[in-house]
Structure 1
Amino acid sequence: MSDDAPPADKPIPVNKTVSLGGLCDAIVFFALSCTWLGSLGRYGWLFDLLSHFRLHYVIVCALVLIYALIRRRTWLVLISLISVLWNAQIIHAFHQTSEVEGASGDKALRVMTFNVLTENKNQTAAITHVMQTDADIICLLEVDDSWRASLEPLRIKYPHHVEELSDVNFGIACYTRLPMKSSEVRRFTVWWLPTLVLNLDHLGRPLTFIGTHPMPPMGGQRAHEWRDQLSGIATLVSGLPGEVIVAGDLNATPWCEGMRLLRETGGLDFHSVDPVWPPTWGLKLPMMIPIDHVLTKRGLTIQKRTIGTETGSDHRSVTVEIRRSSQ
């Protein structure tokens, strides 16, 4: 019997490399799948979640098109080209939703919506930005009790204000220099999130301003509540007389299902000369998307739309100038 130890079993070599072609094919499948599944938003929350990233799909599908041309895959060239055009036309539909002509000579009504971010460490910069904008109506989101002192300059400057300071990132406050006839807090879902409804006078005509902030549609239950809140607002707006403005962090891109409900059921639309697709949230992230909006109804046209600078929030403010149609 030998004293030598038996030789150790040698490990079987495993090829752990992934071919570049296989990786590209996986990216191709993912990009094209998201493009088309995102068009089925009305059939499920996950499909609708995919719809928010049309800007990204244009870029990725264009890269897929280049890849397909290099690899000379005719069928992939055709599918990727259709996907690029499909996403591009969806975005282009919101490039200009109103004409420059046809506005009255009335002074423009300036409206600002801004999610200031509850845990924003630079409250002074955020409020300074709001004050300098000098809007006629201001809607601030995610204001809680820690913002109470910082909001004092707005209370002094604006004769009318309504505040619902919440501790769960869904506080909301509105300030206006327009005459206010009445105001109320509406809650559309079991989460009891506040929506502010202000009944104002705009150059001798009644104007209803609605500021809201539904929760992000992440997960089945939250997506259901998000859709219910937007549906509730749409139903409310459909029965309102006079001019209407809805503004806020809607957690909705222009091409998602929730926005479709607002536009079709509520009769709202962007009515904007400027494009409404530039991102307003996550500008430091690769998944930046446009979710802060102002929509109007009954002859109100947005003649100018401006995205604010960085002031400590993960959102940028949106300020619009609204005029009545001359017709």
Structure 2
Amino acid sequence: MSDDAPPADKPIPVKKAVTLGGICDVISLLALSCTWLGSLGRYGWFFDLLSHFRLQYVIVCALVLIYALIRRRTWLVLISLISLLWNAQIIHAFHQTAELTPFPGEKPLRVMTFNVLTENKNQSAAITHVMQTDADIVCLQEVDESWRAALEPLRIKYPHHLEELSEVHFGIACYTRLPMKSSEVRLFTIWRLPTLVLNLDHLGRPLTFIGTHPNSPMSAQRAHEWREQLSGIATLVAGLTGEVIVAGDLNATPWCEGMRLLRENSGLDFRSVDPVWPPTWGLNLPMMIPIDHVLTKRGLTVQKRTLGPETGSDHRSVTVEINHSTP
């Protein structure tokens, strides 16, 4: 017999297997969390950045809901359904923001805003589209010196214009056939990005048209400047007594914090019979969003809203027809 004692039993570590279902649950929760974090936009620029993608969240929530139903995850079904309905109601709030009650016999005022893209290789197609649209007021963004020659047909067509052909994607130009009393260039924030202010006459009434293009809120500093510019425009509009139209690439979706600041503090609103949520930027990308807008103040209603064709820009033009609405 051996004197050696038998070895003591060693505890066997318990390992938890990482299952595919568990990984899918975590991914689903992370995807759904963007919905709720995006609702905290007023508390931080990154949260507000997440708010822009409500259209995508509807699709994601629907996919998670289907997955949860298949896997019989009751808790995940509930969370995804609530998230889906939350995003859907936010989008639906901008499906129709006004009812059409125009003055009888009034000809609509046609307004176009179009970010033509500085490096657009098809300038002639973009300008041809603008000419054919034949709007009463045209606001173009991202026009620099390379666009000077291409813009000549608009200078000939429209009796009044104001151009700031700045570099770094923030040049802006406005053209109109309405009588123009005066015009000026406003520079907002420390970046001094140009905003054009045109004082016009429309059917015997004073009309202020403001064309603008704030920076995109892709970092803390840029988001701060973006909000400052939108807030500055809101302050400007709040002090105006006549009719006002604000148009441009606002780098803001209808449901983000920057847009809330612009609308809440100025009296501006979409006042549109047609929905304002269809995407205008990135239509060939999965992250397409609506960031090009026309807002009005004091009895002006958008009775029709049309997106233009693809003409070499990453944006589609937005053309609206505006009427005075009866009380």
Which TM-score band applies after superposition, normalised by the shorter structure? Answer: over 0.9
Once the 2 structures are TM-superposed, how far is the Cα of residue 71 of structure 1 from its aligned partner? Answer: 1.0
3-state SS of paired residue (1:187): strand
Distance (whole Å) between structure 2 residues aligned to residue 101 and residue 72 of structure 1: 50
3-state SS of paired residue (1:21): helix
Question: Contact between 1:142 and 1:171, CA under 8 Å: does it hold in 2?
Answer: yes
2:243 alignment partner in structure 1: 243
Q: Which letter does structure 2 place at the counterpart of 1:78?
A: L
Identity in percent = 85
2:279 alignment partner in structure 1: 279
TM-score by length of 2: 0.93
Q: Which letter does structure 1 place at the counterpart of 2:126?
A: A
Q: Which letter does structure 2 place at the counterpart of 1:273?
A: V
Once the 2 structures are TM-superposed, how far is the Cα of residue 30 of structure 1 from its aligned partner? Answer: 1.8
1:234 alignment partner in structure 2: 234
TM-score by length of 1: 0.93
Question: Contact between 2:106 and 2:323, CA under 8 Å: does it hold in 1?
Answer: yes
Using a 3 Å threshold, how does the CA distance of structure 1 residues 18 and 131 change in structure 2: closer, same or farther? Answer: farther
2:258 alignment partner in structure 1: 258
1:84 alignment partner in structure 2: 84
- Is residue 155 from structure 1 mapped to residue 175 from structure 2 by the alignment? no
- Is residue 209 from structure 1 mapped to residue 209 from structure 2 by the alignment? yes
Higher mean alpha-carbon deviation, 292-301 vs 19-28, is at 19-28
Question: Contact between 2:182 and 2:198, CA under 8 Å: does it hold in 1?
Answer: yes
- Is residue 44 from structure 1 mapped to residue 72 from structure 2 by the alignment? no
Distance (whole Å) between structure 2 residues aligned to residue 220 and residue 314 of structure 1: 24
Q: Which runs of 5+ in 2 are unaligned?
A: 1-16
3-state SS of paired residue (2:305): strand
- Is residue 164 from structure 1 mapped to residue 164 from structure 2 by the alignment? yes
1:13 alignment partner in structure 2: none
1:96 alignment partner in structure 2: 96
**1:175-214 maps to which residues of 2 (within 5 A)?**
175-214=175-214
Per-residue displacement from partner, 1:304-324 (whole Å, max 9, x unpaired)? 000000000000000000000
1:8 alignment partner in structure 2: none
**1:135-154 maps to which residues of 2 (within 5 A)?**
135-154=135-154
3-state SS of paired residue (2:296): strand
Once the 2 structures are TM-superposed, how far is the Cα of residue 75 of structure 1 from its aligned partner? Answer: 1.1
1:305 alignment partner in structure 2: 305
Question: Contact between 2:102 and 2:323, CA under 8 Å: does it hold in 1?
Answer: no
Once the 2 structures are TM-superposed, how far is the Cα of residue 162 of structure 1 from its aligned partner? Answer: 0.1
Once the 2 structures are TM-superposed, how far is the Cα of residue 186 of structure 1 from its aligned partner? Answer: 0.4
Distance (whole Å) between structure 1 residues aligned to residue 319 and residue 19 of structure 2: 48
Q: Which runs of 5+ in 1 are unaligned?
A: 1-16
Once the 2 structures are TM-superposed, how far is the Cα of residue 222 of structure 1 from its aligned partner? Answer: 0.2
